[in-house]
């Protein structure tokens, strides 16, 4: 590559879609990662598994198995990662899969669980990405945006019925690109760690609600998956997510994210039973 071309590539950043991929339909995926203080709770803190899972995700998408379905679809995948506690911040800017870094900053437990702030940032990132796709200079076809949320607890910066909750719920239903009247739905999936399941944490008008119950009210009960029941570990979760992502992109958006994830879990469970393994995923 010439120096001039290398400079252009560097300025464009890891999210730049080169002309060679212009014909591929783009699929944007935002991961939002809870790093609240409880992710450091002993024994066996979740934060260690979270960091390992991010490494698995990056490696799987950067280096898909040769001739696999994922390898055939990976050129269509764009990824952004956000982490959050009291505030949300970008951990990884938009990157096409082949430009993903081998590693990102190691995460450590922080403080509270501002899930609303993280979703707001995710929606902003998606809006920016869609505008990039729709820019007349690019005009890239794109599939439904997806937000994939890993958490161990209940949100504490919004609750059902308040202004932030209502605004975010409406925005999750429809995303509008700037200067574009086309509406594009977004799908959000939540994965709650075993330490976040079945804990009564927030009083909503006299009703003690768990983290997963709050998330179910926000985006629907089918969008919430409980680790330890449906999925046994963060590391397995990431592998199943990549299977679901492959299915979504392989079928050009014809398979919904919820169905794709359920199918990935069911297929893995069948494989375990076939191999006479009795523990859940």
DSSP of 113-171: --HHHHHHHHHHHHHHHHHHHHSTTT---B---EEEEEESS--SS--TTSHHHHHHHHH
pLDDT value of position 247:
92
Residue the block writes with tokens 């494989």:
271
* 176 or 111, which is more confident: 111
Average of per-residue pLDDT across 272-276: 52
pLDDT value of position 271:
63
Model confidence at 10: pLDDT above 50: no
Chain-wide mean pLDDT for the chain?
86
Q: Is 60 helix (H, G, I), strand (E, B) or coil?
A: helix
pLDDT value of position 3:
44
CB distance 281 to 265 below 8 Å? yes
pLDDT value of position 275:
53
Dist CA 222 CA 49 (whole Å): 25
In the chain, what percentage of residues exceed pLDDT 70? 86
Model confidence at 170: pLDDT above 70: yes
Average of per-residue pLDDT across 246-275: 79
Length of the chain: 281
Model confidence at 4: pLDDT above 50: no
pLDDT value of position 265:
86
Dist CA 42 CA 23 (whole Å): 48
Average of per-residue pLDDT across 45-67: 95
Burial of 58-71, coded b for 16+ CB within 10 Å and e otherwise, reads: bebbeebeeeeebe
Domains and CATH numbers, the chain: 22-274 (3.40.50.410)
pLDDT in tens, 206-237: 888 889 999 999 999 999 998 877 777 888 89
CB distance 281 to 239 below 8 Å? no
Sheet with 77-84: strands ordered across: 88-96, 77-84, 27-34, 146-151, 187-192, 224-226
pLDDT value of position 180:
39
Model confidence at 14: pLDDT above 90: yes
The first and second tokens of residue 262, run together, are 């359920």
The first and second tokens of residue 243, run together, are 């299977």
Q: Exposed, middle or buried by CB within 10 Å (0-12, 13-18, 19+), for 245?
A: buried
Dist CA 112 CA 47 (whole Å): 14
Model confidence at 280: pLDDT above 50: no
């Amino acid at each position: 590559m010439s120096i001039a071309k290398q400079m252009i590539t560097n300025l464009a950043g890891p999210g730049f879609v080169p002309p060679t991929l212009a014909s591929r339909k783009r699929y944007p995926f935002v991961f939002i990662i809870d790093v609240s203080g409880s992710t450091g709770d002993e024994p066996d803190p979740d934060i260690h598994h979270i960091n390992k899972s991010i490494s698995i995700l990056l490696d799987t998408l950067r280096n898909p198995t040769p001739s696999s379905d994922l390898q055939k679809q990976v050129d269509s995948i764009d990824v952004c990662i956000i982490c959050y506690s009291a505030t949300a911040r970008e951990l990884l800017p938009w990157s096409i899969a082949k430009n993903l870094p081998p590693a990102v900053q190691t995460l450590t437990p922080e403080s509270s669980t501002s899930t609303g702030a993280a979703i707001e940032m995710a929606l902003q990132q998606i809006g920016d990405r869609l505008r990039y796709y729709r820019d007349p200079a690019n005009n890239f076809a794109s599939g439904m945006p997806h937000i994939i949320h890993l958490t161990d607890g209940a949100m504490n910066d919004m609750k059902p019925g308040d202004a932030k909750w209502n605004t975010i719920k409406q925005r999750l239903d429809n995303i509008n690109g700037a200067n574009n009247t086309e509406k594009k739905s977004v799908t959000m999936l939540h994965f709650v760690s075993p330490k976040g399941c079945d804990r009564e944490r927030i009083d909503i008008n006299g009703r003690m609600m768990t983290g997963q119950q709050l998330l179910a009210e926000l985006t629907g009960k089918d969008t919430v998956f409980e680790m330890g029941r449906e999925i046994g570990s963060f590391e397995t979760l990431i592998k199943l997510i990549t299977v679901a992502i492959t299915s979504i992109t392989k079928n050009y958006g014809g398979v919904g994210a919820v169905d794709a994830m359920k199918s990935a879990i069911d297929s893995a469970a069948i494989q375990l039973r076939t191999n006479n393994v009795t523990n859940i995923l």
